[in-house]
């Protein structure tokens, strides 16, 4: 029998999927089945993330031609961001890989920063509504950070290492295009890093060198219109909290249960959902009393 990942035609679980499972699991599944609508808010949020990245990272002029090029670029730019963390105390847009119970896990960390000698994980959330986030919003964002922090722990401790990554992604079979290799030379990527094995080793080695991880994780909410910070929330990471999240979400991916819709107390979320009344009618009959 297929697991949910196979049924949805996916090869890995994104960390943002896990966060979405805590907002509305059914909505997350419907997005994969019917496609996501790119709203104005999503475009604005992306622009803010790009502007924040430009503040810290030097733009890398590489244009991937195929999947292998794309994968290399991701490793290389993340390696540069990790170097920036060590040199300038801040690195942004860092790719992270991991595994839970045989499922590939992938994500992109917004920011790592040094505070009092420890590495702190920070996630930026942009919002069109400058009010404080709801408890439910905060919880689904907190879940994302807990999973990232666990993945960081796994990489920094060596429990998820080069060998796991190479095997999961078939890295030793990937071949970069000649055009892309020429681009690497043109922008001055050191010759000794022009292979996947060297880049993979450099990427994991850099992660293992970032130093001690703080248990404090932060979520920063940013107003989409003014780009002002609304507030920053702090949470404490614990292995137990991460394990609880993993146990909960795996029941869905293992097909031990169907996707959960929102509970009745949260049916206000349906009014903002593109699937309400169409692909999802869980709370539709009650719409008039919402
Ligand atoms: S309509 Fe409501 S329950 Fe259904 S997917 Fe959307 S948010 Fe979830």
26 lines ligand 1 (CB under 6 A): yes
Q: Given 3-state DSSP classes, what are the helix, strand and coil percentages for the chain, each rounded to the nearest 5?
A: 50, 20, 30
Same-domain status, 44 and 133: yes
Cα–Cα distance between 148 and 213 in angstroms, integer? 12
pLDDT of residue 44 exceeding 70: no
Same-domain status, 132 and 93: yes
The answer as to whether 28 is a domain residue is: no
- For 132-162, how does the pLDDT look when each residue is reduced to its tens digit (9 = 90+)? 889 999 999 999 999 999 999 999 999 999 9
Number of domains in the chain: 2
pTM above 0.75, yes or no: yes
The two counts, helices (H) then strands (E), for the chain are 9, 6
| Pick from 217, 208, 213: nearest CA to 159 | 208
The answer as to whether 115 is a domain residue is: yes
79 lines ligand 1 (CB under 6 A): no
Phi–psi pair at 56, nearest 5 degrees? -110, -50
The answer as to whether 207 is a domain residue is: yes
Classify residue 224 by its DSSP letter: T
Same-domain status, 170 and 63: yes
Which of 20, 23, 24, 259, when mutated, tests ligand 1's pocket best, judged by the most ligand atoms within 8 Å of its CB?
24
Cα–Cα distance between 141 and 56 in angstroms, integer? 23
Per-residue model confidence (pLDDT) at position 289? 44
Q: What's the 133 CA to ligand 1 centre distance in angstroms?
A: 19
> Is pLDDT larger for residue 102 or for residue 131?
102
> What residues contact residue 253 under an 8 Å CB cut-off, 6+ apart?
3, 4, 5, 13, 103
The answer as to whether 2 is a domain residue is: no
Which atom of ligand 1 lies at the shortest distance from residue 273's CA? 6
What is the domain range of residue 269?
263-290
> What residues contact residue 157 under an 8 Å CB cut-off, 6+ apart?
none
The answer as to whether 34 is a domain residue is: no
The mean pLDDT of the chain is 91
Q: Alpha helices of the chain — where are they, by DSSP H? A: 4-7, 15-34, 40-56, 67-88, 135-156, 162-169, 178-186, 196-208, 239-253
The answer as to whether 4 is a domain residue is: no
């Amino acid at each position: 029998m297929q697991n949910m990942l196979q049924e949805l035609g996916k090869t890995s679980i994104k960390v943002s999927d896990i966060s979405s499972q805590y907002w509305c699991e059914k909505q997350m599944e419907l997005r994969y089945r019917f496609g996501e609508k790119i709203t104005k808010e999503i475009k604005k949020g992306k622009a803010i993330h790009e502007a924040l990245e430009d503040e810290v990272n030097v733009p890398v002029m590489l244009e991937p031609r195929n999947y292998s090029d794309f994968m290399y670029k991701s490793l290389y730019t993340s390696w540069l961001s990790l170097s920036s963390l060590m040199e300038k105390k801040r690195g942004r847009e860092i790719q992270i890989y991991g595994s839970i119970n045989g499922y590939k896990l992938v994500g992109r960390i917004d920011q790592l920063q040094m505070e009092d000698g420890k590495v702190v994980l920070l996630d930026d959330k942009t919002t069109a509504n400058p009010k404080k986030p709801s408890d439910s919003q905060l919880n689904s964002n907190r879940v994302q950070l807990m999973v990232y922090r666990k993945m960081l722990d796994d990489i920094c401790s060596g429990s998820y290492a080069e060998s796991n990554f190479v095997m999961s992604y078939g890295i030793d079979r990937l071949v970069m295009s000649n055009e892309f290799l020429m681009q690497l030379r043109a922008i001055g990527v050191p010759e000794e890093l022009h292979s996947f094995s060297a880049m993979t080793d450099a990427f994991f080695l850099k992660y293992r060198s970032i130093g001690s991880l703080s248990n404090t994780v932060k979520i920063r909410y940013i107003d989409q219109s003014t780009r002002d910070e609304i507030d920053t929330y702090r949470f404490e990471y614990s292995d137990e909290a991460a394990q609880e999240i993993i146990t909960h979400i795996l029941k869905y991916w293992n097909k031990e249960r169907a996707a959960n819709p929102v509970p009745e107390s949260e049916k206000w979320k349906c009014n903002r959902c593109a699937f309400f009344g169409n692909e999802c009618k869980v709370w539709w009959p009650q719409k008039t009393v919402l």
